[in-house]
Amino acid sequence: MTDFDPNNMSDTYYYGEEISAYTYATLRRHQFNLESLEERLQRMENTTATMKEKWRRGDEAMRDFTGPDTCLKVLASYDRYSQGKACTFIYAMK
């Protein structure tokens, strides 16, 4: 591409085409960058949703494990199955 000289208007028509080609190339590059960013954001959203689901399931499992029903079941098992010094804790699954 040639440098633009505002005093030389002889090749203004062709210079306009060069600007258009350059502008088009720039727009295409920016469009590609935006598409790449969109893909990256979508992957991040998918990963975030997956992790939230795993955390939710983990929280539910932790609540099930540490809930009051579990503690009562362990204590009941301890009372029922304890013999002398040796005690057996039996965890009853829901």
The full set of domain ranges for the chain reads 12-81
Please write the tens of the pLDDT for every residue from 10-31: 555 555 566 688 888 888 999 9
Average pLDDT over residues 47-56: 90
Q: Is the pLDDT of residue 36 over 90?
A: yes
Distance CA 35, CA 42 (A): 10
Distance CA 94, CA 92 (A): 6
Which pair of structure tokens corresponds to residue 52? 């939230």
Do residues 78 and 92 make contact, with C-beta atoms less than 8 angstroms apart?
no
Please write the tens of the pLDDT for every residue from 59-93: 877 777 666 555 555 555 555 555 544 444 444 44
- Location of structure tokens 């829901």: 94
Distance CA 72, CA 67 (A): 9
Q: 0.85 cut: is pTM over it?
A: no
Distance CA 94, CA 90 (A): 13
Average pLDDT over residues 36-64: 88
